[in-house]
Amino acid sequence: MRVLERLGHTIDFPYAQTCCGQMHYNTGYQPEALPLVRRFIELFRDSEVVCVPSSSCVTMMREHYEKIALASGDKTLQSEVATLLPRVYEFTELLVHRLGVEEVGAVYPHRVTYHSSCHSLRNLHLGDIPIRLLRNVREIELIPMEAADLCCGFGGTFSIKNPDVSGAMLEEKLQYIQKTQAEVCTACDNSCLMHIGGAMHRQRGNMHTEHIATILASDTVSRIPSNGTR
């Protein structure tokens, strides 16, 4: 929000929003996602642009909303989905592709490493957009991560249904993150960050996680403390 307002845009946040339906759809409860799709359309159909700070949610919308609408047989819903989807952007996508900015006036004097979440990489094909945005942050020290594209092991309900495998994947991912000796690990998805950050906290080390928006929001006016306290 801060970033977008700094760039001069007006933000609205429809209070009534809840969830994109990914959790249901991906776990095999596909019919249960339909009401959530309708809700999303209802709340956002008049928006000029919809900004979603989560690549997994945007993936859900782009890859499955049309299918869900088709399966419902509701022609109105189908056309509304088709009209709204092109106006939906993941946060970093919005900045670089739609608004054409790669420099957002951010200042963040810390060592940061970037995790390519699976959805941002393989579904949204964000490529190096997030990196380009991070590179333009003043005073940041960006450290590349080995195996940055290795899945962190969250996978939604996968982490609950297969906690041991999920934990093993996280263990390996953490080794690569810790090797960078960064202070902060960032990504475009809070789901990954919750998973990674949770383990970091358990280990009582010096690293913590921040969503990329938090880093891009940080500026000389109101620096965000980067010690993980809230």
Partner 1 sequence: MSTLPAHDLKDRRSPDFPSAALPLLQDVQLRSNVRHATGVIQGKRARVVGEMPDWQALRDAGQRIRAHTLEYLDFYLEQFEQRCSAAGGHVHWARDGAEANRIVLALAQNSTRRVIEIKSMTTEETGLNRALEAAGISPVETDLAELIVQLGHDKPSHIVVPALHKNRQQVRELFARTMNLPDLGERPEDLAEAARLHLRRQFLSTPVAISGANFLIAETGGVCIVESEGNGRMCLTLPRRLISVAGIDKIIPRFQDLEVMLQVLPRSATGERMNPYNSVWTGVHSGDGPEEFHVVLLDNRRTEVLRDAEARETLHCIRCGACQNACPVYRQTGGHAYGSVYAGPIGAILTPQLAMMESGQSLPYASSLCGACYEVCPVKINIPEILIHLRGRVVTGRPNALRAFHPEAVVMRAMQWIFSNSTRFSVAQRAGRIAQRPWIRRSGWIEHLPSVLGGWTRTRDLRPLPPQSFREWFQARNHASTSSPKSSEAPHD
Which residues sit opposite 184 in a β-bridge? 112, 208
Nearer to partner 1, 100 or 114 (CB): 114
Nearer to partner 1, 100 or 166 (CB): 166
Contact between 47 and partner 1 by CB under 8 A: the answer reads no
Contacts of 176 (CB under 8 A, 6+ apart): 145, 146, 147, 148, 150
Distance CA 152, CA 167 (A): 9
Q: Which positions from 121 through 160 interact with partner 1, judged by CB under 8 A?
A: 121-123, 149-151, 153-160
Contact between 58 and partner 1 by CB under 8 A: the answer reads no
Nearer to partner 1, 16 or 100 (CB): 16
Q: Which stretch binds partner 1 (CB under 8 A): 72-80, 101-109, 127-135, 198-206?
A: 198-206
For the bound state, the minimum distance from the C-beta of residue 39 to partner 1, rounded and expressed in Å, comes to: 6
Encoding tokens for residue 204? 């009582």
What is the contact mask toward partner 1 in residues 67 to 106, using x (rule: CB under 8 A)?
----------------------------------------
Q: What is the dihedral of CA 116, 119, 124, 127, to 10 degrees?
A: 10
Q: Which stretch binds partner 1 (CB under 8 A): 77-85, 105-113, 133-141, 168-176?
A: 168-176
Nearest Cα to Cα of residue 145 among 182, 180, 172 = 180
Contact between 15 and partner 1 by CB under 8 A: the answer reads yes
Contact between 207 and partner 1 by CB under 8 A: the answer reads no
Nearer to partner 1, 103 or 149 (CB): 149
Nearer to partner 1, 135 or 161 (CB): 161
Which residues sit opposite 88 in a β-bridge? 50
Residue 50 — φ and ψ, nearest 5°? -110, 125
User: Starting from the edge strand earliest in sequence, which strands make up the sheet with 111-114, in order?
Assistant: 141-143, 111-114, 184-187, 208-211
Mode of pairing for the β-strands spanning 111-114 and 88-90: unpaired
Q: Which stretch binds partner 1 (CB under 8 A): 82-90, 100-108, 134-142, 166-174?
A: 166-174
138: three-class secondary structure by DSSP? strand
Q: Which stretch binds partner 1 (CB under 8 A): 15-23, 78-86, 106-114, 131-139?
A: 15-23
Contact between 115 and partner 1 by CB under 8 A: the answer reads no
Distance CA 113, CA 143 (A): 5
The residue type of 159 is S
